[in-house]
A = this chain, B = another copy of it.
Amino acid sequence: MTDVETTTLGPPSVCQEAGAENQMVRDLLGRIGDKWSLMIIGALHKGPLRFSALQQVVGGISQRMLTLNLRQLQRDGLLTRTVYPEVPPRVEYELTELAHGLLAPVLQLVNWVADNADLVRKHREIYDAEQGGTA
């Protein structure tokens, strides 16, 4: 057991305020916290990638969803879209400075999930077993 008071996160941003400000936060969290958005941001952490490469790295995302998500992120100012006027069209996506502040937590989150996926799977089995045969 440790502290039950102030934690390591100083900013009073996550307090129990429930105003219009919080509405925006909820909305944004729904967009950025989105499954695909997290993976896209994670995939671009090293540098720019083109459309097809992005689709491969993310894995399992349809063309449609990738396009839609990229547009949203671009609109939110989190990534730039650069079109190279070449014969075979080439488009590269890159994180903006704004997105870089987001990079650390997102990467940690993705890594945590990757590291603990198996453990979570175990917990699910236990939970499901308890619901079915015990209790």
Interface residues of A (CB under 8 A from B): 4-14, 16, 18, 21-26, 28-30, 32-35, 38-39, 42-43, 45-49, 52-53, 56-57, 59-60, 74-78, 98, 101-102, 104-124, 126-128
Residue of B23, B49, B108 touching A4 (CB-CB under 8 A):
B49
Select from chain B the residue with minimum beta-carbon distance to A101.
Answer: B112
Question: Which of B14, B43, B102, B109 is A42 in contact with, Cβ under 8 Å?
Answer: B14
Asked whether, in the complex, the Cβ of A21 is within 8 Å of the Cβ of B59, the reply is no
- Tell which of B11, B18, B23, B45 touches A9, judged by Cβ atoms closer than 8 Å: B45
Q: Is the interface of A mostly helix, strand, loop or mixed?
A: helix
**Contact at B26–A59, with CB atoms within 8 Å?**
yes
**C-alpha spacing A98/B116, complex, angstroms:** 9
Beyond A38-B33, A39-B29, A98-B123, whether A8 also contacts B109 by CB under 8 A is: no
